[in-house]
Amino acid sequence: MRIAVDAFGSDNAPSPEVEGAILAIKDDLCEQVILVGREELLAKELEIFFYDKKRIKIFNASEIIDVSDTPASIVKTKPDSSLIQTIRLHKEKKVSGFVSAGNTGAVMASSLFELGRIKNIQRPAIAITLPTMAKPEIILDVGANVDCSPENLHQFARLGSLYSHFFFQKENPEVALLNIGEESVKGNDLAKKAYNLLAQDQDINFIGNIEGKDLLKGVADVVVCDGFVGNVMLKTVEGVAVAIFDMMREQIRKDWVAKIGALLSFPVYSYLKKKLDHSEYGGALLVGLNGIPVVSHGRANSLAIKNAIKVAVRIAQSGFIEHSQAYFEKM
């Protein structure tokens, strides 16, 4: 099991990628990690660490993608970028999957161009794992497709159900549609038509609509929505989590009674912080493609990169891609 890492994707690259790769090898998550990027910079970064040199290798890529590069043009304008070379290592089956903390649009566009969609898949989607009160919850799409058709949402439900089954070993994953109400007649035209398609599909365990207030309760295994709604939802949840902890810290600094309370409740505080920390879940899978592209947060730290590598390994071992290809081949 070998995993490639786009070493110049994150905001603070290449430090998080290098440290994350070392952590992954120390935890024996895979046999080898390939760091893709400028060889001289990566070699210099690795000098300060003690690691197994046989299990972390560098693959040279001379170009770095910057904010001025448009996602659709990267394949042609920067073919020797760390992202493109990382994807091609996977395309050529030299690695089992890859991780990038680069621009999501660039990763999606380049992966789609190089790897291609699974046969009969209309559009790929970004599938995240959201921590909830009950269990991890897969949500898709969270940004790849701003405008969707009912058929797109129907396919997302099938992809999400397969993902939950093979990644989390759910025998009959419960699938819900994110909407403004629980009744089948609620929502816009897209939601109503998607509801009818999902309700008639015997291949998925559709439990109906859920509202935004139910997302963190973990009432479903898979939640389906279009990319516009999903992206707004995800960033809202992230922002609320950060705001809550910031307000708690501010109040603790002001009040000595609160400081005592904080000391007593530190185990609970630590548990919540870990449960809501995106770095604990590593990255999101781009589902519907002929490969395993895992996208991590641009602000990813070494823990997030390590866990993204873990996600890529688990997906490769689960057989999710192969089963998805076989399933949609018959559609």
Q: What is the tens place of the pLDDT at every residue in 107-118?
A: 999 999 999 999
For residue 189, cis peptide bond before it (omega within 30 degrees of 0): no
Cα 24 to Cα 29, 77, 127: the distances in Å are: 5, 32, 22
Burial 205-229 (b: 16+ CB within 10 A, else e): bbbbbbeeebbbeebbbbbbbbbeb
Burial (CB count within 10 angstroms: exposed 0-12, middle 13-18, buried 19+), residue 329? exposed
pLDDT of residue 251: 77
The number of domains in the chain is 2
Any domain includes 331:
no
Please identify which residue in the block is written with the tokens 């400081």: 259
329 within domain boundaries: no
144 & 260 share domain? yes
Question: What's the start-to-end Cα distance of the chain, in Å?
Answer: 31
pLDDT value of residue 268: 61
Q: Is the domain of 150 the same as that of 283?
A: yes
| 88 lies in the same domain as 217 | no
Q: Does the pLDDT at position 269 exceed 90?
A: no
Residue 326 within any structural domain of the chain: no
What CATH number has the domain bearing residue 168? 3.40.718.10
* DSSP state string for 158-193: HHHHHHHHHHS--SS-EEEEE-SSSSTT-S-HHHHH
In the predicted model, what is the mean pLDDT of residues 228-234? 92
Q: 157 and 74 share a domain? A: no
Instruction: Note whether 293 and 278 are same-domain residues.
Output: no
Q: Give the total residue count for the chain.
A: 331
In a domain, 323, yes or no: no
Q: What sign for the dihedral angle of Cα 30, 164, 226, 142?
A: negative
pTM of the predicted protein model: 0.89
Quick: pLDDT tens for 291-327.
999 999 888 899 999 999 999 999 999 999 999 999 9
**Amino acid residing at 53:** K
Residues 10, 127 within the same domain = no
106 and 169 belong to one structural domain:
no
Let me know how many helices (H) and strands (E) the chain has, helices first.
Answer: 12, 11
pLDDT at 216: 87
Residue 151 pLDDT: 97
User: For residue 40, is it within any domain?
Assistant: yes
Q: Match 């790897």 to its residue by tokens.
A: 115
> 124 falls in which pLDDT band (50, 70, 90)?
very high
- pLDDT at 315 (0 to 100): 96
Rounded to the nearest integer, the mean pLDDT of the chain is: 91
In terms of domains, do 220 and 251 share one? yes
Q: Say if residue 19 is in the same domain as residue 113.
A: yes
Q: Is residue 328 part of a domain?
A: no
Q: Are residues 171 and 56 located together in one domain of the fold?
A: no
Residue 176, amino acid: A
Domain that holds residue 224: 122-287
Q: Is the pLDDT of residue 265 over 70?
A: no
Whole-angstrom CA distances from 20 to 24, 243, 302, 313 are 6, 27, 4, 14
pLDDT at 264: 65
Is 248 among the domain residues?
yes
* pLDDT tens digits, 82-106: 999 999 999 999 999 999 999 999 9
Separation of alpha carbons 63 and 83, rounded Å: 9
**Residue 169 lies inside a defined structural domain of this protein:** yes
Residue-level pLDDT at 170 = 94
79 and 112 inside one domain: yes
* Residue 232: both structure tokens together: 């707004």
* Mean pLDDT calculated for residue range 201-211: 96
Residue 131 and residue 111 in one domain: no
